[in-house]
Amino acid sequence: MLKNRLGKKYEHLNDLLFGFKVFLCSNELIVLKSDDIFKVHQLNLRRNADEFIEASNSIFARYLNVVAVTQDQVTNAIEYCKNNWKTKNPEEIKMISLLNLDNYKNKVSETVEYAKKLFGDIVKEPSK
């Protein structure tokens, strides 16, 4: 049913997004959801090789399982993961993700606030 709603335009993403579900689509913005929080971390950490996240184009928080990115960012991120994360084991991925998260607490707060403005109830407060 979700695939039908998204239409042919996003069909190519179905095979790329291992473990992600497309949660919401609006123009070129796609909100992804995964029950595996580390997949969300990986997508945020790896979708752009030079920067972690920007509040203007990414939604992220430590305990949230939604992330919003553009179609191009999704495709680039998944390709980057496919090419570069094959050599790492899952424990290394988790450690890298968590270490980076601790360095970006302020940025996380900004993105949660931005997310609330854009998506309201979709984005919930991180657990305390």
Query: What pLDDT, in 10s, does the model give residues 73-84?
Result: 655 655 555 565
Tell me the per-residue pLDDT of 66-115, one tens digit each, with 9 for 90 and over: 555 555 665 565 555 556 555 555 554 444 444 444 444 444 455 445 54
Locus of tokens 């997004």: 17
Q: Half-sphere exposure of 112 toward its Cβ, with a 13 Å CA cutoff?
A: 15
